[in-house]
Amino acid sequence: MSRKAKRQLETVLFSLPAIILVCLMMYLPFVLSGYYSLTEWNGISKEARLIGLDNFKTIFVESGDFLSSIWFTTRYTVFFVIFSNIFALALAVALTKRFRAANFFRGIFFIPYIMSMTIVGFIWKFIFTSGFEKLYEITEWSLWNYSWLGDTKLVFYSVAFVGVWQSLGFYIVLYIAGLQAVPKDVLEAAVVDGATGRQKFFKVTLPLLGPSFTTCIFMSLTNGLKVFDIILALTKGGPGTATNSVTLQIYKEAFTNNNYGLGSAQSIVYFLFVLIITQLVLKGFSRKEVDL
Amino acid sequence: MRRETKRKVRKWMLVICLLVVACFYIYPVFLMVMNSFKPFGEIIGDVLAFPKSFDLSNYTYVVDKMKYLLLFRNNVIITVIGILGIVVFSSMAAFILERREGNYCKIAHTIIITPMLIPFQAIMITLLKSMNVLHLSGSKIGLGIQYWGFGIPMATFIIFNFMKTIPRELDESATIDGASTFRTFVSIIFPLLKSVIVTVIVLDVMWIWNDFLLPLLMVNSNNETKTLVLAAYTFVGQMNTKWNYALTAMVLAIVPSVIVFILLQKYIVEGVVAGAVKG
């Protein structure tokens, strides 16, 4: 065997396991979803009946369930991106000030992030029901007496709030890393030039945080679009369909209603939805970053 | 001097504010832990009060009922299998694809990292069917192996970028000294990848240990194969409003990760930051 052929063989052998595994777990199901989206299939029978684009017609024209789940996911994601980034940035700024317990505080804010999201959902279910009940008894503020998980309007804020609460620590540590990477000499130069504390923050630190913003907003965007565990534990999508995220909708369509074909079609639409939004946001951001 | 005191006062105000915010922030977790030590009547009576006596009967009941030790072992087995495969196969692929040139490498690289764009929920329905055919569903080992496919794209991406910073002269000189490619990888390159491998391990352990949806689809039918979070989910569902047992199960489900976090806080935070910035 020639040396070149041997090298080529090595290249293939080293990369083949990864390629095969990725193909089996990701590409194969993805292609199958494409096929089954064109069928009517209950998941049990051997034969799936080809019905063309009827499933997509059901999604966009006949049934409002999927579109309303897209709408919920969009609102959830917007809320989640805005509030997790604002709070995380504010706390990160406070936590980069020099004091002894800073590391301890960072740890506290990070703890919900290392917990399973399912458990986080249950914790808040407990707080929203038993905890709030007691608080109302003590304070008699009507705030505690609202039906935070039972009212179709309020439940959105409850779910979104729990989402932010769970992952805030993650974005805090990302912003802290970004803040610490802002060069000290630039900040000193700003002070020498007579910048006030506020000007220093808004005119120097914030623009230089560009890469952190991109990372955090992108991560919170994809995580928001994928929300599942928290909602399943907290409300199961209810009351009614008030907190039905796309992921939950796909799950129910396939595994509760046994409409695997329709569920596959929803998966494909969901994939395109996520792809388009993330690419648009990424493009928008890569243009705005400031270089030093 | 006056400016100095002013600065000190402001710093103390900040610390006090942070303390208040942090207390509110973590209070729900504290409330869960505290109530898990109370009998049912006390939780209903007053959620906010401290337990009247230190009582572990909830814990002995739940540990036994949930088969906690079995679940813990399942989680360890699944996580270890998952991590081993991800680290070995991703670093091999990232090494060779970064070092060699040609169309094959470009295409292989694209094939491996593109699935990062596919959200898991978009393929879960047909994944279940495919895994049934491959006999990877319904067992711990099968579940561990499935994580290879889902973890490899991101891990390869991160390790590939890190490979660029390792000078090529190192493996070239090893080759000149007569080392085979495999030998070069194992004794020269892999040790140099240590820091990035730690990042990958931190990210993937956090993900696999706490993952819910994939175990729900794959190993939910049998009590012997359930994972910790999955069993806690089922258990809390069964206990419905018996919060004393439900809360205990919840605490037991998160205790391992919290302990590990307290011990390894520095590495975990560093790994998470590095992974997010590179990913």
| DSSP letter for each residue of A241-253 | TTT--HHHHHHHH
Does residue A149 fall inside a structural domain?
yes
Query: Could you list the residue range(s) of the whole structural domain that residue A200 is in?
Result: 55-288
Tens of pLDDT, residues A122-177:
999 999 988 888 888 888 888 888 888 888 889 999 999 999 999 999 999 999 99
CA A104 to chain centroid, in Å, comes to 26
* B142 & B234 share domain: yes
The Cα A170–Cα A158 span in angstroms is 20
**Lookup: tokens for B57:** 């009967």
The answer to whether B212 contacts A226, with C-beta atoms less than 8 Å apart, is no
SS3 A292: coil
Which of the four pLDDT bands, split at 50, 70 and 90, describes residue A2?
Answer: confident
Give B-chain residues touching A197 at CB under 8 angstroms: none
Give A-chain residues touching B118 at CB under 8 angstroms: 26, 30, 271
User: Which residues numbered 132-161 in A keep a CB inside 8 Å of some CB on B?
Assistant: 133-135, 138
Contact B200/A at CB under 8 A: no
Which of the four pLDDT bands, split at 50, 70 and 90, describes residue A291?
Answer: low
Please tell me what DSSP assigns to residue A50. E
Average pLDDT over residues A259-279: 93
Q: What is residue A130's predicted lDDT score, i.e. its pLDDT?
A: 86
CB A233 within 8 Å of CB A120: yes
- Residues 6 or more apart in contact with residue A13 via CB below 8 angstroms: none
The answer to whether A26 contacts B118, with C-beta atoms less than 8 Å apart, is yes
Contact A99/B at CB under 8 A: yes
Does residue A10 fall inside a structural domain?
no
Which residue of chain A is at minimal alpha-carbon distance from B111? Answer: A19
Contact B112/A at CB under 8 A: yes
* B15 & B45 share domain: yes
Does residue A14 fall inside a structural domain?
no
pTM to 2 decimals? 0.90
Distance from CA of B17 to the nearest CA of A (A): 10
Locate the DSSP E strands across chain B. Answer: none
Does residue A225 fall inside a structural domain?
yes
* B26 & B156 share domain: no
Vertex A97: Cα angle to A91 and A102 (nearest 5): 70
* B49 & B150 share domain: no
Number of domains in chain B: 2
Please tell me what DSSP assigns to residue A39. E
Query: Could you list the residue range(s) of the whole structural domain that residue B32 is in?
Result: 2-55
Q: Is A150 exposed, middle or buried (0-12, 13-18, 19+ CB in 10 A)?
A: middle
Q: What is residue B56's predicted lDDT score, i.e. its pLDDT?
A: 87
The answer to whether A118 contacts B232, with C-beta atoms less than 8 Å apart, is yes
Q: What is residue B279's predicted lDDT score, i.e. its pLDDT?
A: 61
The answer to whether B92 contacts A17, with C-beta atoms less than 8 Å apart, is yes
* B38 & B166 share domain: no
Which residue of chain A is at minimal alpha-carbon distance from B131? Answer: A25
Does residue A275 fall inside a structural domain?
yes
* B28 & B135 share domain: no
Q: What is residue A237's predicted lDDT score, i.e. its pLDDT?
A: 85
SS3 B166: coil
Q: What is residue A288's predicted lDDT score, i.e. its pLDDT?
A: 66
Question: Residue B160 maps to which CATH number?
Answer: 1.10.3720.10
Low-confidence ranges of chain B (pLDDT < 70): 1, 279
User: Which residues numbered 159-178 in B keep a CB inside 8 Å of some CB on A?
Assistant: none
The Cα A23–Cα B93 span in angstroms is 14
Contact A96/B at CB under 8 A: no
Give A-chain residues touching B95 at CB under 8 angstroms: 14
**Closest partner residue to B89 among A21, A126, A225, by Cβ?**
A21
Contact A165/B at CB under 8 A: yes
Residue with tokens 């956090």: B206
What count of other Cβ atoms lies within 10 Å of the Cβ of residue A280? Answer: 10
**Lookup: tokens for A166:** 């769970």
pLDDT higher than threshold 80 for residue A284: yes
Contact B20/A at CB under 8 A: no
Of A100 and A86, more confident: A86
* B41 & B79 share domain: no
Distance from CA of B172 to the nearest CA of A (A): 14
Average pLDDT over residues A188-192: 86
* B123 & B17 share domain: no
Please tell me what DSSP assigns to residue A195. -
Contact B197/A at CB under 8 A: no
The Cα B93–Cα B108 span in angstroms is 9
Give A-chain residues touching B252 at CB under 8 angstroms: none
* B259 & B207 share domain: yes
Of A104 and A165, more confident: A165
**Lookup: tokens for B149:** 């496919």
* B27 & B101 share domain: no
Contact B181/A at CB under 8 A: yes
* B13 & B102 share domain: no
Does residue A124 fall inside a structural domain?
yes
Q: What is residue B175's predicted lDDT score, i.e. its pLDDT?
A: 84
Q: What is residue B1's predicted lDDT score, i.e. its pLDDT?
A: 57
The answer to whether B25 contacts A126, with C-beta atoms less than 8 Å apart, is no
User: Which residues numbered 218-277 in B keep a CB inside 8 Å of some CB on A?
Assistant: 229, 232-233, 236, 243, 246-247, 250, 253-254, 257-258, 261-262, 265, 268-269, 272-273, 276-277
Vertex B129: Cα angle to B128 and B131 (nearest 5): 65
What count of other Cβ atoms lies within 10 Å of the Cβ of residue A276? Answer: 10
CA nearest neighbour of A33 among A282, A198, A288, A265: A265
The Cα B207–Cα B91 span in angstroms is 19
Which of the four pLDDT bands, split at 50, 70 and 90, describes residue A197?
Answer: confident
pLDDT higher than threshold 60 for residue A292: no
**Lookup: tokens for B160:** 């590939």
Number of domains in chain A: 1
Question: Residue A120 maps to which CATH number?
Answer: 1.10.3720.10
* B38 & B173 share domain: no
Q: What is residue B104's predicted lDDT score, i.e. its pLDDT?
A: 92
CA nearest neighbour of B68 among B240, A125, B76: B76
CB A100 within 8 Å of CB A210: no
The answer to whether B149 contacts A99, with C-beta atoms less than 8 Å apart, is no
The answer to whether A18 contacts B156, with C-beta atoms less than 8 Å apart, is yes
Q: What is residue A23's predicted lDDT score, i.e. its pLDDT?
A: 95
Tens of pLDDT, residues B41-70:
888 888 888 888 888 889 999 999 889 999
**Lookup: tokens for A43:** 């998941």
